[in-house]
């Protein structure tokens, strides 16, 4: 077997060294670290996928993410691209629309699932939504907590 010149061996090792940090940096773009850091009993929403760019968080509900009251306001409506549930007792229900009638297209996020890292992969239960196909991405306008036992959820985020 031909001996590899020392200079080439060194370059090969340097090349491997350069690959490792790049891989680590990519792996950091996920929701698991956000979940670990999240406050117990709270839900979170993010403007971008993989829980990037914090939009808001709440231990309560908000029937209109586009009004000027509650935990989500103004420009928060139709912006969420990832969501997280660190609740203690309830599941989360998100709606395409607003109002305390809690009607229309919805999608739920369970505590077991913990987070949905890209809402482009999720659709409202009745397939309504902007730009169609009913995607939940950039379309959530309200949320509430629901009991896991009361059959409110016709579709679950993954």
Applying CB under 5 A, the residues found at the interface with Ca ion are: 62, 64, 67, 70, 72
Closest contact distance (angstroms) between CB of 103 and Ca ion is: 17
Cα 144 to Cα 72: distance, rounded to the nearest angstrom: 12
Nearer to Ca ion, 32 or 73 (CB): 73
Q: Which residues contact 157 (CB under 8 A, 6 or more apart)?
A: 83, 94, 107, 108, 109, 113, 116, 119, 122, 136
CB of 52 to Ca ion, least distance (A): 22
CB of 62 to Ca ion, least distance (A): 4
Shortest approach of Ca ion to residue 64 CB, angstroms?
Answer: 5
List, in order, residues 6 or more apart from 117 with CB less than 8 Å away.
30, 31, 49, 50, 51, 82
Residue nearest Ca ion, Cβ-based: 70
Nearer to Ca ion, 62 or 123 (CB): 62
What are the E-state strand segments in the chain? 42-48, 52-58, 82-86, 91-95, 106-109, 115-116, 142-146
Comparing CB distances to Ca ion, the nearer of 30 and 67 is 67
Of the pair 64, 79, the CB lying nearest Ca ion is at: 64
């Amino acid at each position: 077997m031909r001996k590899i010149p020392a200079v080439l061996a060194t370059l090969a090792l340097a090349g491997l060294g350069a690959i490792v940090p790049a891989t680590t940096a990519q792996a950091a773009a996920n929701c698991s670290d956000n979940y670990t850091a999240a406050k117990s009993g709270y839900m979170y929403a993010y403007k971008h996928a993989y829980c990037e760019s914090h939009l808001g968080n709440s231990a309560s509900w908000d029937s209109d993410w586009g009004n000027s009251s509650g935990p989500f306001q103004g420009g928060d409506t139709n912006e969420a691209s990832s969501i997280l549930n660190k609740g203690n007792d309830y599941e989360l229900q998100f709606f395409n629309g607003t109002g305390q009638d809690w009607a229309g297209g919805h999608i739920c996020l369970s505590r077991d699932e913990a987070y949905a890292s890209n809402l482009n992969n999720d659709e409202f239960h009745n397939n309504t939504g902007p730009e169609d196909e009913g995607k939940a991405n950039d379309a959530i306008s309200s949320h509430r907590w629901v009991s896991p036992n009361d059959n409110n959820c016709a579709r679950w985020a993954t």
